[in-house]
């Protein structure tokens, strides 16, 4: 099956991700807890967006919906014009493999695989041969400044280094969208700064659209736009243009 | 090696102790399963090797074993004059008129009496069965009270060795030699002169007659003619088939008992594997979530965990079959329930057993890994990631 990549689609307008009237609630025992209700907003192509808000405000839920790892109760999520809520499970998996890169708070690397193998992992879903996969994984690791750590296991790397491996893994398939959930939440200030600078570079030099959830104002300050999702009034978004 | 396979393999190495214990459980079951099959195959091989395809044995109709069978001299004469029988170097047809009698002889270790088969053989017996050779001492003299013993009897019974004497049928019988029957059932017998034994046991009939055919294809005509002969009350069988049938009762018992044991043990091993794999899934929720987020489909996750369970089973199988192969050094002596005489045989490992035990182990691995793998594959991505 060929998966259409977002970047292959005719770039008509500036909007890459469009959420319209999206609602999501969770069951907690017998109780239904609404997290997002009727949320509508757009994310532009090549944007670096920081999503802020208190715990439980639904920012991670929103990130998961945009990344296609969770589905809304209602509403549509169009990414590059395609409504991903309509994709069947297996096709959605292929869509993620082709279009989305993930950066998690706790890096989430496979502990038994080396840095290089971790980065290579998403490429095993492509038609690339072994040598090409290795070359691309090496290239991705050099982009995050870890060419000399390819054979190290995650446990042999510092937190900052692990997160950089995770970034290499996220960009190795050259996805259009990067989603990052508290990418600096577990890092010291210096490592956090390095990671954020890499993300800025990916956005600025490589045109990656980045959606980042964070609690940290210093981290958010690296984004081009900051939005705040407030508890209680889920549709209320505060937009703060940095540029 | 594909990255995902290597990922599964390395995860197995991660939880060494748990996986080692699980694999050991599987190895034990494989060992029991393979050992039972090896025992059965050893028994069959010994008894099947006893018979030759070109030989035909005649016993009284409906007699399952030689000790139940009676063939009188008049019938014996008719049988030995048949044209299909090959003529030996000495100009006589290759016919061995035999008498089979059980005697009780104390075992060397336990002092408990067990049945020993004494076979009286005709002069042509060794020509009829060329695979039997005297390997120590000498052949008994015809017309004497000398006997020779099978190779497998060595050390198993009191007084059963070259130079000593056995007392049965009111006579002393001197052991003068030892023969090798190539690991067949004859190796557990004592052979003497047929006429001497018939007289001593005060019989005037033989138990069986074994003849060698000039051409093995002559069997059907010979059988049809003699079984239809109104003067005869005999049944003709290929020697190989006759002895193969003797293994059925014991073989059936070994198989039923052994396979029941294996299945019960395997239930334990499967449950063990299931618990191990559930633990593996539980401890790798985050990894499952990440793999799914990266675009790995549910089916790939299912396969990854199944492969892991199968690898575990493969390790168990390797260890189990290795230990089972050591059993080929072990000799078993037991009573053959059909002939009621003692029979010695070895555990025999055949390629079929290797393959069957491999399939058995992989089925165990599959069953043990299936439910945990399904659980891993069905996990919601956000739930799996939340655990991290």
- Indicate the SS3 state at residue B11: helix
Strand-pair category, B171-180 with B146-150: parallel
Chains A–B, number of C-beta pairs less than 8 Å apart: 74
* B16 contact partners, CB below 8 Å, separation of at least 6: none
Q: What is the rounded distance in angstroms from the CA atom of residue A108 to the CA atom of residue A85? A: 26
Residue B14 and residue A111: Cβ atoms within 8 Å?
yes
**Residue A241 CA to its chain's centroid (Å):** 21
pLDDT > 80? residue B380: yes
Q: Phi and psi for B100 in degrees, rounded to 5?
A: -120, 125
pLDDT at B219 over 80: yes
Closest to B381 (Cβ–Cβ): which among A69, A97, A113?
Answer: A69
Single out the residue of B52, B62, B63 nearest to residue B96, CA to CA: B52
> What is the pLDDT tens value at each position of chain A, 243 positions in all?
444 455 444 444 589 999 999 999 988 888 988 888 888 888 999 999 999 888 888 889 999 999 999 999 999 999 988 999 999 999 999 999 999 999 999 999 999 999 999 999 999 999 999 999 999 999 999 999 999 999 999 999 999 999 999 999 999 999 999 999 999 988 999 999 999 999 999 999 999 999 999 988 889 989 988 888 876 454 455 565 555
Closest CA to A138 of A100, A110, A161, A172: A172
Q: CA neighbours within 13 Å on the CB side: how many for A155?
A: 4
Contact B293 A67 (CB under 8 A): yes
The C-alpha atoms of residue B14 and residue B237 are separated, in whole angstroms, by: 61
B1–A contact, CB cutoff 8 A: no
In 10 A of CB B217, how many CB atoms? 10
Residues 148-207 of B with CB under 8 A from A: none
Q: Are A59 and A52 in contact (CB under 8 A)?
A: yes
Q: What is the rounded CA–CA span in Å between residue B136 and residue B157?
A: 18
pLDDT of residue A163: 95
**Phi and psi at residue B189, in whole multiples of 5°?**
-115, 165
The dihedral over CA atoms of B83, B87, B93, B94, expressed in degrees to the nearest 10, equals -110
Q: With bands split at pLDDT 50, 70 and 90, how would you rate the model's confidence at B388? A: low
Chain A residue numbers with beta carbons less than 8 Å from the beta carbon of B11 are: 112
Distance CA A32, CA A26 (A): 6
Residue B200, classified by CB atoms within 10 Å of its CB into exposed (0-12), middle (13-18) or buried (19+), is: buried
**The pLDDT value given to residue A239:** 61
Q: In chain B, positions 277-336, which contact chain A (CB-CB < 8 Å)?
A: 286-287, 289-299
Contacts of B10 in chain A (CB under 8 A): 112-113
Out of A95, A112, A124, name the one closest to residue B11 (CB). A112
CA distance B214 to B235: 20
Nearest-by-Cβ selection for B295 from A104, A108, A125: A125
The ipTM assigned to this model is: 0.90
Tokens standing for B88? 């030996």
- Using a CB-CB distance cutoff of 8 angstroms, which residues of chain A are in contact with residue B296? 93, 97, 125
Report which DSSP code applies to B139. Answer: P
- A112 CA to chain B: closest CA distance, Å? 6
Has this prediction a pTM greater than 0.90?
no
- Name the pLDDT band for B1 (thresholds 50, 70, 90): low
């Amino acid at each position: 099956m060929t998966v259409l990549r977002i970047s292959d689609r005719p770039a008509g307008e500036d909007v890459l991700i469009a959420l319209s009237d999206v609602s999501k609630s969770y069951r907690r025992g017998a109780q239904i807890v609404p997290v997002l209700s009727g949320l509508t907003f757009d994310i532009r192509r090549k944007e670096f967006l920081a999503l802020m808000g208190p715990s439980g405000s639904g920012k991670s839920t929103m990130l998961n919906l945009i990344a296609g790892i969770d589905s809304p109760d209602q509403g549509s999520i169009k990414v590059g014009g395609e409504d991903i809520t309509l994709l069947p499970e297996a096709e959605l998996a292929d869509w993620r493999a082709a279009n989305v890169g993930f950066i998690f708070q706790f890096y989430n690397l496979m502990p038994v695989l080396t840095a290089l193998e971790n980065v290579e992992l998403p490429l095993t879903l492509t038609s690339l041969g072994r040598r090409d996969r290795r070359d691309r994984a090496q290239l991705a690791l050099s982009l995050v400044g870890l060419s000399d750590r390819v054979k190290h296991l995650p446990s042999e790397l510092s937190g900052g280094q692990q997160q950089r491996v995770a970034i290499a893994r996220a960009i190795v398939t050259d996805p259009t969208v990067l989603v990052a959930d508290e990418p600096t939440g577990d890092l010291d200030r210096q490592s956090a700064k390095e990671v954020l600078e890499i993300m800025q570079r990916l956005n600025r030099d490589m045109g990656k659209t980045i959606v980042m959830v964070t609690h940290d104002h210093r981290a958010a300050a690296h984004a081009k736009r900051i939005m705040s999702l407030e508890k209680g009034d889920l549709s209320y978004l505060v937009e703060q243009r940095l540029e | 090696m594909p990255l995902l396979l290597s990922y599964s393999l390395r995860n197995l190495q991660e939880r060494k102790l748990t996986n080692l214990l699980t694999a050991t459980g599987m190895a034990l079951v494989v060992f029991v399963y393979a050992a039972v099959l090896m025992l059965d195959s050893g028994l069959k091989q010994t008894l099947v090797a006893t018979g030759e395809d070109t030989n035909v044995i005649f016993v009284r109709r409906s007699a399952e074993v030689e000790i139940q069978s009676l063939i009188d001299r008049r019938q014996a004469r008719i049988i030995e004059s048949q044209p299909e029988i090959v003529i030996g170097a000495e100009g006589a047809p290759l016919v061995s008129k035999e008498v089979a009698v059980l005697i009780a002889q104390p075992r060397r270790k336990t002092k408990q009496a067990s049945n020993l088969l004494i076979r009286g053989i005709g002069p042509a017996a060794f020509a009829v069965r060329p695979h039997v050779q005297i390997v120590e001492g000498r052949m008994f003299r015809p017309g004497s009270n000398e006997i020779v013993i099978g190779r497998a009897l060595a050390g198993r019974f009191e007084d059963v060795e070259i130079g000593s004497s056995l007392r049965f049928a009111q006579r002393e019988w001197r052991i003068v030699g030892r023969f090798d029957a190539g690991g067949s059932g004859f190796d557990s017998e004592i052979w003497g002169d047929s006429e001497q034994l018939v007289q001593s046991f005060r019989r005037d009939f033989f138990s069986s007659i074994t003849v060698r055919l000039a051409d093995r294809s002559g069997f059907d005509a010979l059988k049809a003619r003699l079984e239809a002969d109104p003067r005869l009350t005999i049944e003709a069988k290929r020697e190989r088939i006759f002895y193969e049938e003797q293994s059925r009762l014991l073989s059936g018992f070994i198989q039923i008992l052994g396979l029941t044991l294996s299945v019960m043990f395997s239930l334990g091993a499967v449950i063990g594997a299931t618990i191990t794999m559930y633990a593996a899934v539980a401890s790798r929720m985050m990894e499952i979530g990440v793999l799914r987020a990266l675009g790995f489909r549910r089916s790939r996750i299912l396969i990854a965990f199944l492969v892991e369970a199968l690898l575990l089973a493969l390790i168990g199988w390797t260890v189990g079959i290795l230990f089972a192969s050591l059993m080929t050094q072990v000799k078993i002596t037991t009573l053959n329930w059909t002939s009621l005489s003692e029979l010695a045989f070895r555990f025999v490992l055949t390629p079929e057993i290797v393959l069957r035990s491999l399939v058995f182990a992989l089925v165990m691995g599959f069953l043990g890994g299936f439910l945990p793998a399904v659980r891993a594959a069905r996990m919601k991505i956000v739930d799996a990631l939340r655990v991290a």
